[in-house]
Structure 1
Amino acid sequence: MLPMKKIYTLFILGTLMEKDMHGYLLKSVLNDVLGPFKKISWGVLYPLIHELSEVGLIEAIVRESNDKSKKDYQITEKGRLEFNKLMVEPIEFKHLYMMHFKVKLSAIKWISRYDAVNIYANYVQYTTILINYKKSILAHEINEHVNGLIETEMKELQLARKWSKQMIKKL
């Protein structure tokens, strides 16, 4: 499965763990999670919803209200199993890591404490690798401007790592 498709699938399944939703609401919630600079299009979302429905991970439920029919989607038992599989699968340290991590965080309440700790621990490992990489760049003393940028990034990463360690302790 392609990385973005996996992230979107995980998001849809995780969102439907909480309640049934129609496509428009799924799109709205996903765009809120992705932030103001990344949006999912209808051309991506609806084919994925139909594919997830065809393979039995979600199912459509038609509801009648005010002389209108509305199609909501709900997760199936097969979808719950796939959701759990995707949640516990480690995230590769690649360019989509942060987006994938955020989507996992949005659904972390639906998995075991053990699996949640592993997700946070994976994030600690990710931030540690980046911090060490930034430190190695600083050792080269490139110039004041570059060093300032790298130091700022390191501070952000250190805060993120500290937060993740605190979340592990809370669990």
Structure 2
Amino acid sequence: MCAMYELLVLSLLMRWPIYAYLIATIANDILGPWEKISRGTLSALLTRLEKAKLVAPGDPEQVPFPSTRPSRVFVITPVGRERFYQLMMDTSSNQGTYQRIFRIKALGLEFLSPEDQLYLVDHYIQYCQTGARYQRAEAQKMSTRPEERDSVSPFFLKTALSLMGLVAQEWQLELEWAQHLREQVLLLGYPSGKQQTEQKPSSSR
């Protein structure tokens, strides 16, 4: 969760210098409606990022939004940009919540090279395919294996199978969205139609 919040804050600061309270407002609009970053959590995160020299105090004159209250302004530093890149290209951490993390990554893809964008989207397509295959396989196993089917009540079996089907459909929708996102990356990042046949994280910005 901490990495997701850190990525979200840094991705916002990649766009503009911004007031602290607006970071909370925009972040909560993205995360909502039920999950919210509390003021205490955001304050602690910004303090940690500032101590690590990932963000720094900014000039209110550079903020593109009018202020409605007194608040500190933050800007991302060169070190913060490197950290943003590191978080964006990390595909091995937080696998259980990676779906939510990737949706934040998708909003920041434009700050990466076309090669890195394609690498991340292709990885996420495989992630979605794995999720869909797993749900279908588990449903097949539960419905065909007597030791699993006969050990539960008919109500539980029917409900579990319908739930697995629902989750598989959700993964399929997510997969279709990711495939559409890939088309956007190819269209905007490779206007000549040329692309590398093998994509991997680049070693430089």
TM over 0.5: yes
How far does residue 121 in structure 1 lie from its aligned partner after superposition? 1.6
Deviations 1:96-145 (A, max 9, x none): 22221122112111111111112212221211111111111221215333
Equivalent residues in 2 for 1:1-171, closer than 5 Å: 4-61=1-58, 63=60, 70-92=71-93, 94-139=95-140, 140-141=142-143, 142=149, 143-171=157-185
Gap runs ≥5 in structure 2: 144-148, 150-156, 186-205
Q: Which has the larger radius of gyration?
A: 2
Change in 2 beyond 3 A, CA 1:69/1:152: closer
Give, as a single letter, the amino acid of the residue that structure 2 aligns with 1:157: W
Task: Return structure 1 stretches of 4+ with deviation > 6 angstroms.
Answer: none
What is the aligned partner in structure 1 of residue 198 from structure 2? none
Q: Percent identity?
A: 26
Query: Please, what TM-score do these two structures have when normalized by structure 2?
Result: 0.73
The number of aligned residues is: 167
Gap runs ≥5 in structure 1: none
How far does residue 160 in structure 1 lie from its aligned partner after superposition? 1.2
Query: Please, what TM-score do these two structures have when normalized by structure 1?
Result: 0.87
How far does residue 149 in structure 1 lie from its aligned partner after superposition? 1.9
CA RMSD in angstroms comes to 2.2
Give, as a single letter, the amino acid of the residue that structure 2 aligns with 1:55: A
